[in-house]
Structure 1
Amino acid sequence: MALPLLLLQIWATVGAATIDNAKTLPCEPSSFTDPIVPGARVLSITAEEKRNFDIPAVPGLLEPVSDLNFCDVQIYLTHPGANDKVLVKTWLPLTRDLWNARFQATGGGGWATGMLDLALGPAIASGYAASSTDGGHPVDYFSADWTLNQDKSINWDLLQNFGTRSLADQIYVGKSLTEQYYGQQPRYSYWNGCSQGGRQGYAVAQRYPELLDGVLAAAPALRFPALTMSFLWPNLVMKVSGTVVSNCEFNWFASKALEECDILDGAKDGVIGDPDTCTFDPRRLVGEKLECSGVEIEVTEAMAEVVRRVHEGPSTPFGENVFPSLTYGTSLATFVNATANPDGSRTLNDPGLDVFARTILLRKSDNSNNYGWIMDSDNPDMSAFRDAGGKLLSWHGTNDDIIPSKTTVNYRQRVERELGGAKAVDEFFRLFLAPGVKHCAFGNGAVPKDPLETLRNWVEKYEAPDTLEAETKNKDDEVVTRNLCRYPRKLRYLGLGDVNKASSWTCEGGDKEEELRGERKTFRDEL
């Protein structure tokens, strides 16, 4: 065949096969076949094109997203013998141009297995194909009614969905639908979640280590059953001691802790940089006076002891801490509902959170100590995730008023002991503490700006992060920036420059501590 004719035929073939990346892809049930989901059976598939779709803002947590164009695929599946009906929502950008060639599985919050539209919207706006699931139960962040059957027995199947099973299901479904829609597998797959979603991210890394390339898990509820019981701790201390401390008084003690420990990182910026260095003792304030509800109150030894015990956390009779409590300077208003009355008396109100009542019901049920296998995500052996090439990026606010940041630090230390020390663990798991930040956001501290992008650079470009960009605004509406430090390093003010700017701060410490931990591990191995 003559060369020009051969080239013409090749050009024609390539031209015919060229994909129009801007073309809207067909979005209808017939576009998809049932995805293979181990241990589950697909009940139905629906698909509907959505255009100019808006997601409202969640103040302080989610910015509004608008004008989204995507294929909304909803699959219901069931697990044989479970009598459940689980929704998995997958949103797919309508054109290949809108898709970034990546998949994102999203986490839940509170007692919700998934956040559905609230999580899917930001993911789609960033170009991801994304999935979320209801776990087969109502999406309610504060109610756990679904954990019990009508006869008040435990619904173990839904608990398993919530704890582990539905997390993998949504990934299998989402990745399959993504490949079917675009004709290619996603180049990379990620998890994105905070709180319950953070726990779920750890669960996926530990139990399904080969499903994802990267996991972003913030403020994780790693030991969920123990955490729910710890919510009762402040009220228990007050009831046992017979001394009620009001929210107003707890807030006063928090302000005093901040006054004492703020400067320890070199700057007075309204943030305790490292709670571990804060040796605040409420008992030193006995005799001082404060005002609540227009009444002058003198701090008593009993009041100070309650505050100390609450922040110490529950311990065994031998002094061993059972579960970490909140750091000094952190508000206890989420779980303390006590009022200082104008007559000087105190009223300890019922917590009013459904999680408390549900926790008690679970505690009274048979096999109450067996929830860990479903709900906990604190197995320190992450070797399978490491060996699969996965990366875990986690961050936690030190003023988290729901999940103590110490739980994540403790877990990280256990992983180091299990897998060869800090340097070895840093190869696949990095933790960043955010001083002054509350649960997933808020507080006086700088909040991570785009940790998912940082994780992507680690996974895709092999750029292991030493710092995490963070930002907030102070009480004067001034922008405050920080470069959060890779654990165990700590932020320290350089002594010069604008205290609000990240360039005026450095990360110090950690190297010697990491080296010593590695040497101790090597010494134990040699023994």
Structure 2
Amino acid sequence: MVEANVGRSAFSAAGRGRLTCGAAALHVDLIQSVNPGLAGGLTIGLTGQANQFPFCRVNAQVAYGNNDTLKFEVWLPDAGSYNKRFMAVGNSGMAGAIDTWNLMLQLNSGFAVAGGDSGHSASLNNNGSGAPGVYLPYLHDTNQVNAWIHDSIAISTPHAKALVAEYYATTPRHSYYYGCSTGGAQAFALAQYHPQLFDGIVAGCPGNWYSHLALSFLWNAQKTLVGLFKNDSHLDQPTLDFITSAVLDHCDSLDGVADRILENPLDCTFDIASLACPPSSFSNPANATTCLTPAQLAAAKAIYEGPGAAVYPGFSLGSETQWALQEGQLSNAFTVPILQNLVYDDLTYDATRFQWDKDIPDVDENAGKWIDAISSNLSEFRTNGGKMIVFQGWADPYNAAVWPIQHLHQIQSAIGGKQRDVSDFFNVFMIPGGGHCGAASSYPHVPATYHTIPELITWVEQGRKPESIKSTGPPDKSNRSRKLCPWPQTARWDKIGDVESSESWVCV
């Protein structure tokens, strides 16, 4: 096993073993196993996604830090199916496992693809899930914490690229990265800390302000009081659905199409106070949701506002039906474990003690510097010719949707010059009705497959930045497609063509 050192070859000059994958020979010293796979021989996930052609599956690991280990896999399509490009994929949540579903997706597009466990094992960390009072070893190891979001992709990628070059006897023409959620945070870390590794990056629904994203979970839990103590501030699912329906009734047609989707929630002027219960009755009738009590109204307003612009933004109109996870579950899974394990190193720490006017610097110092990637100066990535596509769903149940827009503005101010233009290397695409890394459960008619990678390849290899991105495949199985536009543009129907076709929409 070799010691990880970014920029150093993964292949040693001596002690090589000869491993084969079908007819190919691999000379490496970090391989754990090599397995040839026949077409259709491997099925991943509940959707039954299978490999479309033969490939070589390489399991490897590399040491880093202080006796830490990062496990990764490289999947190598047969030469006739290889598109001569390398793709690395990121992780989700607290990571600790290899994203084989994404590996399969990229393999079937012809990439030589690699993915790792982010430098720690889920099996040693409560199976990759956080919970109050649970010890998570990786959050007590500085090297593992730093690898999780900032460095793990950079640790494994040079070794994976070298293996790809060895296997095909030539280096890949271009290198790409795709990640969503935590993988989106890893994408920003790559652009910030490792700007030379990839020609193009896709960052989906990015949690790159991870420590403050976690704080927003705590804020929303406290305001709805679920998981702390429960009272009438709680917004149950019928109430959340009721709010969203009222928002759509008010603003749905702003884009010229009544389709129960807000093209741009920032254009909507709906006033949540209009749903207040009459003063004569601060309660809803039994088995019906027709208004909001004062406590519910205050809770909803708090979620819209968020903990403050300097901490983390709030949620957008039209996303309400997705808020259930914000009412305690996400705080218990992420915020409390991070506070207990990483910020205060005290498993008895009570999150109700968190003081919003005093304790945020503790989070910044003990967590943010290790897991956030929010620099507005991505000039080195830009100078190296890197291109970056960011996408974000307006109805994301985890992330406040406006954060990528705010970060875009920060980048524009930092390196955009007088015109504040960074579109030559960085573009954000907002997804009306989009959820977290795909479909929102409350918007099954919204196309949820985003064709970002073909647009990124064209941008990197032909110099044509994406004027739009097509989205297809709504969960309702219809043939509906939509056009996603680079912010601040939004899509409008041309009033001529088929409203269900992306070709009939224009970016304005």
**TM-score strictly above 0.5:** yes
TM-score by length of 2: 0.81
1:33 maps to which of 28, 34, 54: 28
Alignment partner, residue 71 of structure 2:
87
**Distance in 2 between residues matched to 1:304 and 1:109, nearest whole Å:** 33
Q: Does 1:110 align with 2:89?
A: no
Identify which of 364, 372, 396 aligns with 1:369: 364
Partner of 2:304: 311
Residues 269 and 137 (structure 1), Cα distance of their counterparts in 2 relative to 1, 3 Å cut: same
Q: How many Å separate the matches in 1 of 2:136 and 2:185?
A: 28
Corresponding position of 1:69 = 54
Deviations along 1:232-268, one digit per CA (max 9) or x if unpaired, are 2222113499733323212211221121111111111
Pick the aligned partner of 2:439 from 442, 461, 475: 442
> Are 1:393 and 1:431, in contact at CA under 8 Å, matched by a contact in 2?
yes
Looking at structure 1, the residues matched to 503 and 323 of structure 2 have their Cα atoms a distance apart, in angstroms, of 34
Identity %: 25
TM-aligned CA deviation for residue 168 of structure 1: 0.3
Runs (5+) with no aligned partner, structure 2 = 1-19, 347-361
Q: 1:298 to 1:465 in 2, by over 3 A?
A: closer
Indicate conservation of the 8 Å contact 1:446/1:470, yes or no. yes
Once the two structures are TM-superposed, the CA of residue 308 in structure 1 deviates from its matched residue by 1.1
Q: Deviations over 1:449-485 (max 9, x none)?
A: 421111001111112111111124486x542222211
Structure 1 counterpart of 2:264, which letter? D
* Structure 1 residues 224 and 105: CA distance shift in structure 2, 3 A: same
| 1:217–1:496 Cα change, 3 Å | same
> Letter of the aligned partner of 1:417 in structure 2?
S
Equivalent residue letter for 2:471: A
1:10-66 deviation line (CA, Å, top 9, x unaligned): xxxxxxxxxxxxx986456xx2234xxxxxxx5x5432322243233455xxx7123
Aligned to 2:294: 301
Residues 469/293 of structure 1: CA separation in 2 closer, same or farther (3 Å cut): farther
Could you give the per-residue CA deviations for residues 94-139 of structure 1, whole angstroms, max 9, x where no partner exists?
x321211111001111111553322211121111111111123234
Aligned to 1:56: 44
Looking at structure 2, the residues matched to 57 and 74 of structure 1 have their Cα atoms a distance apart, in angstroms, of: 19
Instruction: Please list the CA deviations of residues 253-304 of structure 1 after superposition, one character each: whole Å capped at 9, or x if unmatched.
Output: 1221121111111111110111111122211121369978725664333322
Tell whether 2:434 aligns with 1:433: no
Contact in 2 for aligned 1:235/1:336 (Cα 8 Å): yes
Superposition RMSD in Å: 3.0
Contact 1:471 1:482 survives alignment (8 Å): yes
Any gaps of 5 or more consecutive residues in structure 1? Answer: 1-22, 35-41, 338-348, 509-527
Amino acid at match of 1:498: D
Q: How does 1:244-259 map to 2 (within 5 A)?
A: 244-259=234-249
Give 1:334 deviation, angstroms.
Answer: 4.1
Preserved contact between residue 62 and residue 71 of structure 2 (Cα < 8 Å): yes
C-alpha displacement at 1:363, in angstroms?
3.8
Matched, 1:185 2:171: yes
Matched, 1:279 2:274: no
The CA distance in 1 between the partners of 2:480 and 2:116, in whole Å, is 36
Q: Quick check: 1:106–1:130 contact (8 Å CA) kept in 2? A: yes
Note if 1:46 corresponds to 2:33. yes
1:395 aligned counterpart, secondary structure: strand
Paired position in structure 2 for 1:323: 312
Alignment partner, residue 214 of structure 2: 228
Rounded Cα–Cα distance in structure 2 between residues aligned with 1:106 and 1:419? 27
Q: Offset of 1:206 from its aligned partner?
A: 1.3
Judged with a 3 Å threshold, the aligned counterparts in structure 2 of structure 1 residues 182 and 281 are, in CA distance, closer, same or farther, namely same
Structure 1 position 457 matched with structure 2 position 487: no
Conserved in 2, the CA contact under 8 Å of 1:313 and 1:321? no
TM-score, structure 1 as length reference: 0.79
Code of the aligned partner of 2:111: Y
Instruction: Report the Cα offset of residue 412 of structure 1.
Output: 0.8
Shift of 1:385: 0.5
Deviation at 1:441, TM superposition (A): 1.0
Q: 1:99 to 1:493 in 2, by over 3 A?
A: closer
1:129 aligns with 2:127: no
Q: Name the stretch that deviates more: 371-380 or 221-230.
A: 371-380
Report how many aligned residue pairs link the two structures.
455
Bigger Rg, structure 1 or 2: 1
Corresponding residue of 1:195: 181
Q: Deviations over 1:170-202 (max 9, x none)?
A: 211110100111111000110011111111111
Q: Label 1:50 to 1:491 Cα distance change in 2 as closer, same or farther (>3 A).
A: same
